[in-house]
Amino acid sequence: MISTLQPPRSLSHFRSNPTLLLRYTSLKPLSSLSSQPVTHSTIPDQSQSPNPPSHSQILSTRHSLLSRHLTATQLAESFLTRLRLTEPHLRSFLHVSDSVLAQARELDEKIQRNEELGPLAGVLVAIKDNICTAEMPSTAGSRVLEGYTPPYDATAVRKIKELGGIVVGKTNLDEFGMGSTTEASAYQVTANPWDISRVPGGSSGGSAAAVSARQCMVSLGSDTGGSVRQPASFCGVVGLKPTYGRVSRFGLMAYASSLDVIGCFGTSVADAGILLHAISGHDRLDATSSKREVPDFSAQFVSMNLLESKPLKGLRIGLIRETLDDGVDTGVTSAVRTAALHLEELGCCVTEVSLPSFSLGLPAYYILASSESSSNLSRYDGVRYGNQVAADELNSQYMDSRAKGFGSEVHYVKRRILTGTYALSAGYYDAYYKRAQQVRTVIQKSFKTALDEHDILISPAAPSAAYKIGEKKNDPLAMYAGDIMTVNVNLAGLPALVLPCGFVEGGPAGLPVGLQMIGAAFDEGKLLKVAHIFEQTLQNCRFVPPLIADEVA
């Protein structure tokens, strides 16, 4: 396995501290953290209910800082401590920033001087490692970019920093986002905080696990075929894939340019929405970013005690029939059906809707994504940056640099490059790439029709809950099939939000199941509104993983 061969880079200093070598089964030192102020002030009103709904960590951070209940330094320290304690089990980070505390102290000085604070002041954000950061390595989980630090921040990262957010570090992923388990990282395998023998999903597995385990408050991921939504489902957090063009891709290392979007993770719908608002908007550095105005998503978050009995009355919801077919775990199906009932109780009119082209999505997706990736990954040639294997002859230099630079497990990066190169070759283009584009148009139209008749569509986020590390690693087709719930949305460019809606059996405390809500283009506001009400009214579910349950109890 990759992780046993390659020690984590930048995190090795954690291992040198013997007190941090904890066994997962005895996390006692963590509970000693419960006296830290953070657990009390960031989780308010716990006394009212045994299972309080998820609240916004971003808003409570702001409240704590402004009311001076907590300093930014205290907040940062408590998260860093938890990060250090949990990281040996999770390995969600490829790099942890060494300037978090310095930035927090700077912020505290600003607060002392009564200076105005940005909306993300003191918010600890983790960034998927395929998103460029100027002061930290950005490897996309690949050896080909080992040690590479970009000269610029991605637009989304720049915006987060400008609004006061503090970047905690860079999270693990499947190499270049190609994978569904985070096992295809060249550096380490990330574990699921709900059961560390299981995968966190992928490719944004590091970002999902980090938010789930409260190693940070929110995080950025990227979603080409489900890479934000599926790990959100596996890790029991909220994952938001915006409309294509809503968020600038500048600085996101391209996998498939026409499908890639940067997405958000949070422990609450509100946090995902606030983070999305922060990074959205036209960017003159991305010609595919939309000039549409970005609405204030937080206006959608109605307070719980102001909710009427049927807050979603009249909302038409379509449950996609094809997503409940054979091949979907019964536990998942029943959790989603229960969620549908819950939506009906909230006043929604839930009906089944058929998307006949649904099953065409997967093959079309794999052709288009592979074709674009074969082109996008051409720049990793070892000439200008990244790893180069010296050779006497130019072609050997190319071949050796790429053969050694890209992951040794052929069915991730290399298979996609080969598949894409083949699909674009003269004589095959019409049969593959062009046909896949036609399928894409059909899928877009069928979503359009379904969304003309429904406000939102719902489905599971994945056919199963988190599975065991290594379980599907050598079965690429099984892994590809796991993307069936999500890839159609990327092909249509639509926004979709995944939030935890229930559990299935498995692991020490059950495994979370995510509900996917799909909206019309640029209608993230409606998704956030519905999801927020769903989340606030969901009974008897609390999505804090056992790894940290004692602490955040």
Partner 1 sequence: MASTIFRSLHSHPFLFHPTALIRRKDVILYCTMRSAQTQTATQEKVKPQVKVSPHGTQSKALEKASKDYEAVIGIETHVQLNTLTKAFCSCPYNYGSPPNTSVCPICMGLPGALPVLNLKVIDSAVKVGLALNCKLSLNSKFDRKQYFYPDLPKGYQISQFDVPIATSGYIDLDLPLEFGGGHRKFGITRVHMEEDAGKLLHSEGGSYSQVDLNRAGVPLLEIVSEPDMRNGIEAAEYAAELQRLVRYLGVSNGNMQEGSLRCDVNVSVRPIGQLQFGTKVEIKNLNSFSSVSRAIDYEISRQVLLHSQGQDKEIVQETRLWEEGAQKTVTMRKKEGLADYRYFPEPDLPGVFLTTDYVDGIRNSLPELPETKRRRYEKMGLSMQDVLFLANDMNVAEFFDTTITKGADVKLATNWIMGDIAAYMKNEKLTINEIKLTPQELAELIASIKDGTISGKIGKEILFELLAKGGTVKGLIEAKDLVQIVDPAEIEKWVEKVLSENPKQLEQYRGGKTKLQGYFAGQVMKLSKGKANPGLLNKILLEKLNAKS
Nearest alpha carbon to residue 255 among 391, 130, 88, 95: 130
Nearer to partner 1, 372 or 523 (CB): 372
Which residue lies nearer to partner 1 by CB, 113 or 291? 291
For this structure, is 414 an active site residue? Answer: no
Sign of the CA dihedral with 223 first, then 224, 227, and 229 last:
positive
Task: Specify whether the CB–CB gap between 211 and 126 falls below 8 A.
Answer: yes
- Cβ–Cβ < 8 Å for 156, 220: yes
User: Which of 140, 220, 264, 492 touches partner 1 (CB under 8 A)?
Assistant: 140
Q: How far is the CB of 248 from partner 1 (least distance, A)?
A: 9
Per the structure block, which two tokens stand in for 456?
Answer: 């939102």
Smallest gap, in angstroms, from Cβ of residue 176 to partner 1?
Answer: 9
**Tell me, what DSSP letter sits at residue 299?**
G
Q: Which of 104, 145, 220, 247 binds partner 1 (CB under 8 A)?
A: 145
Catalytic, 203? Answer: yes
Measured between alpha carbons, how far is 220 from 224 in angstroms, rounded to an integer? 13
User: Considering only residues 83, 123, 132, 168, which one is a binding residue for partner 1 as defined by CB under 8 A?
Assistant: 132
Residues, the chain: 553
Contact 441, 447 (CB under 8 A): no
Site for partner 1 (CB under 8 A): which residue of 3, 375, 444, 537?
A: 375
Cis peptide bond prior to 26, omega within 30° of 0? no
**Least Å distance between CB 86 and partner 1?**
29
Q: Which is nearer to partner 1, 184 or 466 (CB)?
A: 184
154 in contact with partner 1 (CB under 8 A): yes
Q: Do residues 129 and 94 make contact, with C-beta atoms less than 8 angstroms apart? A: yes
Give 119's contacts (C-beta < 8 A, 6+ positions apart). 58, 62, 163, 164, 274, 278
Among 299, 394, 403, 410, binds partner 1 (CB under 8 A): 394
Residues 410-469 touching partner 1, rule: CB under 8 A, are 421, 424-426, 429, 433
Nearer to partner 1, 149 or 338 (CB): 149
- Dihedral pair phi/psi, residue 127, rounded to 5°: -120, 130
Cα–Cα dist 274/177, whole Å = 24
113 binds partner 1 (CB under 8 A): no
Rounded Cα distance, 436 and 440, in Å: 6
388 contacts partner 1 (rule: CB under 8 A): yes
In the complex, what is the shortest distance from the CB of residue 204 to partner 1, in angstroms, rounded to a whole number? Answer: 16
Given the residues 56, 60, 110, 128, the one annotated as active site: 128
- The one among 6, 81, 258, 298 contacting partner 1 by CB under 8 A: 258
Q: Is 197 a catalytic residue?
A: no
Residue type, 118: G
Distance CA 212, CA 218 (A): 9
For residue 154, the minimal CB distance to partner 1 (Å) is 6
Using CA atoms, how far apart are residues 528 and 134, in angstroms rounded to an integer? 31
Q: Tokens at residue 308, please?
A: 């009427």
> Which span sits near partner 1 by CB under 8 A: 182-190, 350-358, 367-375, 487-495?
367-375
CB of 256 to partner 1, least distance (A): 8
Binding site for partner 1 (CB under 8 A): 131-132, 134, 138, 140, 145, 148-154, 158, 249-254, 256-258, 284-288, 371-372, 374-375, 377-385, 388, 390, 392-395, 397-398, 421, 424-426, 429, 433
Residues marked active site are found at 128, 203, 227
